[in-house]
């Protein structure tokens, strides 16, 4: 059985490299970190204080990849509409490349409306924005000269290297509680 470990507490004062290394020693299959780039002081729903202490998962997982050999490394979740897909595709590909194909791309739409809007998400249409970002990233990961023309993202032919170690790209694992989450997985996800 494959069992992963998800760190849902603050790791700002703990080294993710040491945590992932220990998880690998104990036989865990995967090590997951969540993402909250910022947490607004005023929100429409309660937000635990610990979320504002969340480290950047891509930098932390890159650190973990340097001291581990087999454990898979994942985001749980990456709030995709809070990122530019050209930069996010580069981060994902670089992490997957240097980890030897061990990255698992957990994707979600977020649940802190105010934070997502501050970061540039179209809250009411964030899953449409996510789809657009994923389709753009797939172009960047699979083509040497990639271009994309969508509703939210539009760019002429560009080059983005390295490509991910996993082909055609790391697994795209979608999270969410919406009734149509399985439709999204079938359309553009892997699980």
Q: Is the pLDDT of residue 1 over 80?
A: no
What local confidence, expressed as pLDDT, does residue 6 receive? 82
- Its pTM stands at 0.94
In order, the DSSP letters of 139-191 are HHHH-SSEEEE-SS-EEEEE---SPPSSSS-S-EEE----TTHHHHHHHH---
B/e letters for 160-190, b = 16+ CB within 10 Å, e = fewer, are beebbbbeebbebbbbbeeeebeebbeebbe
Is pLDDT of 12 > 70?
Answer: no
Set out the domains of the chain in order of their start, with CATH numbers.
4-188 (3.20.20.30)
Taking residues 15-37, report their average pLDDT: 94
The yes-or-no verdict on residue 185 having pLDDT over 80 is yes
Query: 178 falls in which pLDDT band (50, 70, 90)?
Result: confident
Residue 9: its pLDDT value, please? 61
pLDDT (average), residues 136-161: 98
The number of residues making up the chain comes to 191
């Amino acid at each position: 059985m494959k069992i992963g470990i998800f760190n849902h507490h603050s790791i700002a004062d703990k080294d993710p490299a040491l945590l992932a290394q220990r998880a690998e020693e104990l036989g865990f299959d995967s090590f997951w970190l969540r993402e909250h780039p910022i947490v607004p002081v005023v929100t429409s729903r309660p937000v635990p204080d610990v979320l504002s202490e969340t480290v950047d998962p891509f930098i932390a997982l890159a650190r973990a990849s340097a001291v581990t050999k087999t454990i898979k490394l994942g985001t749980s979740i990456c709030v995709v509409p809070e990122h530019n897909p050209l930069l996010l595709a580069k981060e994902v590909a670089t992490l997957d490349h240097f980890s030897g194909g061990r990255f698992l791309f957990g994707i979600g739409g977020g649940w802190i409306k105010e934070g997502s809007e501050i970061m540039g998400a179209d809250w009411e249409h964030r899953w449409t924005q996510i789809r657009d970002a994923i389709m753009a990233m797939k172009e960047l990961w699979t083509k040497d000269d990639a271009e994309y023309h969508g509703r939210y993202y539009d760019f002429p032919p560009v080059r983005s290297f390295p490509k991910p170690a996993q082909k055609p790209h790391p697994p795209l694992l979608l999270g969410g509680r919406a009734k149509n989450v399985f439709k999204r997985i079938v359309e553009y996800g892997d699980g």
